[in-house]
């Protein structure tokens, strides 16, 4: 008679349920100490349960203790991968900063020695730079100016417009710095470059409202503030902006930090512009800086 799979299963179940007695005897007196009635199925369940319990305990021990650093291969590399990536980017940034600082100090040495820089300076966008501005004065205008100058030379009522402007408007210095590049609209430089330590605060020169706070590839982080009397102040190459569009600021409040952002920047400095009635104005008419 051929055994069927069902018969084999029944025989296996019968063997697993067969009862055995486990007895512990005293070796000298053969006195029975312990006695257990077990089946193979009970043993399998018992050892299986113990395996699950010990496996769970080992997993918890490894997962929630420092043992995982020694038991799991390359675990530490996975945990600190992001830190390694940041460190690599920081090293690249430091190399770039070192290169810019070296060029900045070379330019500074040239300026302090009385030389002039040949590199391109800060300016407004290219389309505005290309505008042909005619600063020439006709002969008739020059003659009229000379005549008025002679008439007003000894007049008590004569007041210099630039001095009057300086008396009527009091501006805070945006930074305590030294002028690296002066105001030169003919060369497309519509502001002044002020050298100051990196991360020094940049301050609003007048009360006003922030009308622009953004980043551009050429000029980096830029803040523009609208003031009364149709005056606008512009601050370029900042490291971090502290204000957003629509914010009201008071004169002397910090709006950014000195930085080196933008392709036109070659070292930590502030490019500061002052516009009145849509035309650039020399900031040194309102405040004095070191040269």
Question: Does 73 score more than 80 pLDDT?
Answer: no
Domain termination residue (choose one: 63, 88, 113): 63
Lowest model confidence (mean pLDDT) among 112-116, 195-199, 212-216, 274-278: 112-116
In a domain, 52, yes or no: yes
Question: Could you report the per-residue pLDDT of 20-65, keeping only the tens digit for each?
Answer: 887 888 888 878 778 878 788 888 888 899 999 999 998 888 878 8
CB 186 within 8 A of CB 136: no
Residue 37 lies in a domain: yes
Residue 219 lies in a domain: yes
pLDDT of residue 100: 85
Name the domain count of the chain. Answer: 2
Does 118 map to a domain?
A: no
Q: 44, 63, 82: which is the final residue of a domain?
A: 63
Residue-level pLDDT at 289: 74
In a domain, 72, yes or no: no
Residue that is written with structure tokens 């929630």 in the block: 64
Whether 156 is in a domain gets the answer no
Which pLDDT belongs to residue 60?
87
d(CA 117, CA 108): 9
Structure confidence at residue 190 (pLDDT): 93
Q: What is the DSSP string of 9-58?
A: HHHHHHHHT--EEEEEE-TTT--EEEEEEE-HHHHHHHHHHHHHHHHHHH
Given a contact cutoff of 8 angstroms between Cβ atoms, the answer to whether 160 and 148 are in contact is no
Note down the domain range covering 264. Answer: 167-285
Q: Name the band, by pLDDT with cuts 50, 70 and 90, for residue 117.
A: low
Is position 35 within any domain?
A: yes
- Top-ranked range on mean pLDDT: pick from 73-87, 114-128, 244-258: 244-258
Q: How far apart are CA 272 and CA 216, in angstroms?
A: 16
Residue 74 domain flag: no
Among 63, 79, 107, where does a domain finish? 63
CATH code at 213? 2.70.70.10
């Amino acid at each position: 008679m051929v055994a069927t799979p069902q018969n084999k299963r029944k025989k296996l179940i019968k063997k697993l349920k067969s009862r055995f007695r486990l007895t512990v005897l005293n070796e000298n007196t053969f006195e029975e100490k312990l006695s257990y009635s077990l089946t193979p199925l009970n043993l399998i369940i018992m050892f299986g349960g113990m395996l699950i319990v010990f496996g769970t305990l080992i997993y918890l021990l490894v997962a929630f203790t420092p043992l995982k650093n020694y038991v799991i291969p390359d675990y530490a590399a996975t945990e600190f991968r992001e830190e390694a990536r940041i460190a690599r980017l920081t090293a690249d940034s430091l190399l770039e900063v070192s290169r810019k600082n070296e060029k900045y100090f070379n330019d500074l040495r040239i300026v302090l020695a009385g030389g002039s820089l040949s590199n391109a300076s800060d300016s407004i966008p290219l389309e505005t730079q290309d505008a042909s501005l005619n600063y020439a004065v006709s002969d008739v205008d020059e003659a009229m100016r000379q005549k008025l100058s002679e008439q007003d030379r000894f007049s008590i009522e004569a007041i210099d417009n630039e001095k009057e402007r300086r008396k009527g408007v009091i501006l805070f210095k945006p930074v305590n710095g030294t002028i690296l590049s002066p105001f030169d609209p003919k060369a497309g430089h519509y502001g002044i470059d002020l050298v100051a330590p990196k991360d020094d605060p940049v301050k609003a020169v007048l009360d006003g409202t922030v009308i622009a706070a953004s980043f551009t590839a050429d000029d980096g982080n830029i803040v523009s503030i609208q003031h009364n009397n149709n005056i606008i102040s512009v601050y370029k190459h900042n490291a971090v902006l502290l204000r957003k569009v629509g914010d009201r600021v008071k004169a002397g409040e910090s709006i950014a930090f000195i930085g080196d952002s933008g392709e036109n920047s070659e070292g930590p400095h502030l490019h500061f512009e002052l516009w009145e009635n849509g035309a650039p104005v020399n900031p040194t008419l309102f405040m004095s800086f070191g040269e």
